[in-house]
Amino acid sequence: MHPYRFARIQAVDVLDDTFSYPSRTEYDPQQVFRDSFGIFLDLPVQDVELRLDKQWATYAQSHRWHDSQVVEVVDGGVRLQLRVRVCPELESWILGFGEQAEVLAPVSLREKIGRRIVEAGRVDAERVPAHGPTLRKAGPPSSGRARRERAR
């Protein structure tokens, strides 16, 4: 199987060929994507556990990210459990919570998210001077006439 992005299709050729959709016993998209968090189908399914800050409690209880999710409000936060393929979409989703999320399991995902956060911090540190951006002090506002005279 190959996941296609319809937004990327630039042209279509209509052919005389026909296609018979397979029966549910031959192909059931709900079963194929049951453990997917994104479009990847060739990655192992794992039990994922996150801890979100308490500000996410109401949202997590009222939002469904995946059919397998279990949400539990715990002291100081929310515990979120999923049984999914660990894929780039899942990683990006977790990183989207920023410092308000902690990966509890699996350890390999925790380590990978940790490395990505460290690397993002390193990249930002290289781009912004340690003392912060350089700012110039603005002088007092001047009239248009004064600006024109200085320009001469």
Does any domain span residue 40? yes
Joined tokens for residue 5: 């992005």
Joined tokens for residue 43: 């990655």
Joined tokens for residue 35: 């453990």
Q: How confident is the model at residue 130, as a pLDDT?
A: 63
pLDDT in tens, the chain (152 residues): 666 788 888 999 999 999 899 999 999 988 988 999 988 888 999 999 999 999 999 999 999 999 999 999 998 899 999 999 999 999 999 999 999 999 999 999 999 999 999 999 898 888 877 666 665 555 555 555 555 555 55
Q: How confident is the model at residue 104, as a pLDDT?
A: 98
The residue range of the domain holding 44 is: 28-125
Q: Which of 91, 7, 93 has the alpha carbon at shortest distance from 43?
A: 91
User: 91, 113 in Cβ contact below 8 A?
Assistant: yes
Count other C-beta atoms under 10 Å from residue 125's C-beta: 10
| CA gap 6, 135 in Å, rounded | 45
Does any domain span residue 22? no
Q: Which of 31, 27, 75, 29 has the alpha carbon at shortest distance from 54?
A: 75
Does any domain span residue 130? no
Measured CA angle at 148 (ends 142, 152), to 5 deg: 130
pTM over 0.95: no
Beta strand 77-85 with 101-105 is unpaired
Does any domain span residue 138? no
Task: Please write the tens of the pLDDT for every residue from 78-119.
Answer: 999 999 999 999 999 999 999 999 999 999 999 999 999 999
Domain count, the chain: 1
